[in-house]
Amino acid sequence: MMRTLLLPLVVSVVVMAAEAADLKATMEVVNNNANGFEGRFCFHLPQAIQGWELVIVFSSGVNNVGQWQGDWIEQHGSGECATHWTLVNKNYMGKQNAGDDLCVKVTGSVCGGGKPGGTATFVDLNDDHMHVPAAPKIAGAASMKYNYPDVLMKSILFYEAQRSGKLPHNNRITWRGDSALKDKGAGGEDLTGGWYDAGDNVKFNFPMAFSTTVLCWSLLEFPQAYSKTGQLDHMYDSIRWPLEYFIKCHTKPEEIYVQVGNGGLDHAQWTRPESMDQNRPAYKIDASSPGSDVSNEMAAAMACGSIAFKTKDPAFSRKLLTASKSVYAFAKKHQGIYSASVQDAAAYYQSSNYTDENNWGAAWLYKATNDNQYLADAKVRYAHEPAWGFSWDEKIAGNHLLMYSFTKDAAYKADIESTMTLWSKQGGMKYSPKCLAFRLQWGALRYSSNTAFFALMAAKQGIHAASYRQWAMCQINYALGDTGRSYVVGFGTNPPKRPHHRASSCPMMPIPCSWDAQQNPGPNPHTLYGSLVGGPGGSDDYTDSRIDYIHNEVACDYNAGFQGAVAALIQLAIDHELPNAAHCGQCPMP
């Protein structure tokens, strides 16, 4: 009978390379008889790893191969007698520390008899082989305290890392693959595509559409910032991804799918999108269960997209405008809060109102069409009040800007000023000791960055340009390193390395990924370049912890206004109008 393999793991082979990804070993034959052989491959690991793959090449074909530390995923050879075998670690065997000695035991039979032999290559699946090029230098770069072009480039990469569906041939995120290819509506409608919302794997249209609108708006307002930094084509690809998805979601004149994936089921797992079990229900709104807030936000995104693609892709532009008008008409006819219709959304993105989105959708369609009926609708729905904060749930500040740009009416200008006053110390805004305008504990940098974008857009329209630009730049510089650390993954000094993000925390496919990845105290195996984490507490306190989703989660809406503000600052640098960064330590007020 073949002996039971309960031998101790003993290092007995010479390591042939210095990096874990290149380790090679020759099989030590522990036992060989008529019943088969027992061998082992041993490696001394120079660095900590989260997952590994072993590629074994036997000198002769073998069968009945067995082992206990991994799962066979591939074999090549003649019939059942294969010479090339590949296994990937079992979940409990993936994590290894620097300096560990790892031996993998195998058993089997040599086809036709003879002495067994073989070599194995140990592949460290932490290495995703992703290399980010340096951002090009631009005119005015000397005036920038931080490398804004690099931030812009990496923020676009973040959105590429959030892609769902069939990835394009030019996918730049080496550790991402196709995912959620079975996302469908109740009638089998194709709902693949779009962005995963945050550190999870749900697609929520409300924040996704807001993010798309703001990003598209930044492209319309600051095209040179994208073109001069070599990011223009990437930016068009970036916003096109969700825009194409929104068109898919509008399945009937009075039917729109607004969420794919159940929040509770999704949050009960910790796994990469590529490994999801595909239990992803789709949720829709219709005439009997309306959602004029999410509908108008989608209409706004597609209207903005129609402007952005008007000359680049006229056919796509027309398609977007047609869809935008249709979605807007549905929203106007059937008013209601979408999170009351889609109960699963209420636990994550509960809408507080829809009147601001009514204004927002109408205003964007007026900008896209110059049809005065849309402007009339926008005026009727406009609220003369200061904005608490520009966000996925509140478009009041954006409405201020759009309506003033259309009319130059002093009343709209006064609303812009009242919003910025509300964000000053005199207006009651709390500021951290190091000058962050601290609106809310959860995603503090999101609110300050979105308002920075708002301030820069107001300044472009000639409203208190000097003070608004100074304040906005200081808020963005806070996120980039003014406190001594960056809050943008993969950028600057001491950036976050453990963002609360499933995909980037998982080792390379096909290594299994579970809650062990969330609990891993080390850095995420993949750098989620460009992602803005939620940020510090009100006292500038921050811990780089994956478990702390309040301060260390990332999300599509976190980066939207932030990226737009960075684009605006690049434009100011190009125009030699960038404020003096030295003044930020004085906590300038808007």
Domain at 266, CATH number: 1.50.10.10
265 pLDDT band, cuts 50/70/90, is very high
**Percent of the chain surpassing pLDDT 90:** 83
pLDDT over threshold 80, residue 7: no
**Residue closest to 299 by CA, chosen among 368, 221, 396:** 368
Confidence (pLDDT) at 42: 95
Same domain, 525 and 384: yes
Confidence (pLDDT) at 13: 29
Q: Which of 123-137, 272-286, 412-426 has the lowest mean pLDDT?
A: 123-137
236 pLDDT band, cuts 50/70/90, is very high
Domain final residue, candidates 124, 155, 186: 124
Question: What number is the average pLDDT over the span 548-576?
Answer: 97
pLDDT over threshold 80, residue 14: no
> Cα separation of 196 and 204, whole Å?
8
Same domain, 450 and 572: yes
Residue 6 lies in a domain: no
> Cα separation of 163 and 194, whole Å?
6
Confidence (pLDDT) at 78: 61
**Residue closest to 170 by CA, chosen among 241, 222, 116:** 241
Question: What number is the average pLDDT over the span 252-259?
Answer: 98
Which residue carries 């009960």 as its tokens? 268
Confidence (pLDDT) at 576: 96
Average pLDDT, the chain: 93
Same domain, 374 and 473: yes
Check residues 215 and 72 and name the one with the higher pLDDT: 215
Helix axes 314-333, 232-249, angle to 10 degrees: 40
Same domain, 292 and 426: yes
User: What is the SS3 assignment for 449-503?
Assistant: HHHHHHHHHHHHCCCCHHHHHHHHHHHHHHHHHHCCCCCECCCCCCCCCCCECHH
Token pair recorded at residue 437: 């305008």
79 pLDDT band, cuts 50/70/90, is low
Same domain, 48 and 153: no
Confidence (pLDDT) at 431: 97
pLDDT over threshold 60, residue 17: no
Confidence (pLDDT) at 127: 78
> Cα separation of 490 and 479, whole Å?
13
**Side-chain-facing half-sphere of 124: CA atoms under 13 Å:** 26
CATH number at residue 100: 2.60.40.290
Same domain, 151 and 226: yes
Give the domain range for residue 108. Answer: 20-124
Residue 284 lies in a domain: yes
Reduced to 3 states (helix: H, G, I; strand: E, B; else coil), residue 412 is helix
pLDDT over threshold 50, residue 166: yes
Confidence (pLDDT) at 16: 30
**Residue closest to 526 by CA, chosen among 127, 245, 230, 1:** 127
Q: Is the peptide bond before 521 cis (omega within 30 degrees of 0)?
A: no
Question: What number is the average pLDDT over the span 233-259?
Answer: 98
Reduced to 3 states (helix: H, G, I; strand: E, B; else coil), residue 514 is coil
Question: What number is the average pLDDT over the span 437-464?
Answer: 97
Backbone angles phi, psi at 293, to 5 degrees: -70, -55
Residue 392 lies in a domain: yes
Residue 1 lies in a domain: no
Question: What number is the average pLDDT over the span 433-441?
Answer: 97
> Cα separation of 286 and 257, whole Å?
9
Same domain, 84 and 148: no
Catalytically annotated residues: 500, 544, 553
Residue 10 lies in a domain: no
| CB-count burial class (<10 Å; 0-12, 13-18, 19+) for 572 | buried
Domain final residue, candidates 90, 124, 158: 124
Q: Which helix or strand (DSSP H or E) is residue 56 part of?
A: strand 52-66
> Residue 220 contacts by C-beta under 8 Å, 6 or more apart in sequence?
304, 307, 308
> What number of residues does the chain have?
590
> Cα separation of 59 and 77, whole Å?
12
20 pLDDT band, cuts 50/70/90, is very low
- The number of domains in the chain is 2
**Residue closest to 210 by CA, chosen among 559, 461, 481, 577:** 559
pLDDT over threshold 50, residue 519: yes
Same domain, 538 and 465: yes
Residue 133 lies in a domain: no
Residue 2 lies in a domain: no
**Percent of the chain surpassing pLDDT 70:** 96
Question: What number is the average pLDDT over the span 260-272?
Answer: 95
Domain final residue, candidates 124, 158, 173: 124
Cα radius of gyration rounded to whole Å, the chain: 27
Q: Which of 79-88, 99-108, 562-571 has the lowest mean pLDDT?
A: 79-88
Under 8 Å between Cβ of 522 and 94:
no
Taken in order 254, 259, 261, 265, the sign of the CA dihedral is negative
Residue 241 lies in a domain: yes
Same domain, 180 and 246: yes
Same domain, 100 and 245: no
Instruction: Write out the DSSP string of 393-422.
Output: S--HHHHHHHHHHHH--HHHHHHHHHHHHH
> Cα separation of 156 and 307, whole Å?
20
pLDDT over threshold 70, residue 550: yes
Same domain, 192 and 96: no
Same domain, 148 and 102: no
Confidence (pLDDT) at 110: 93
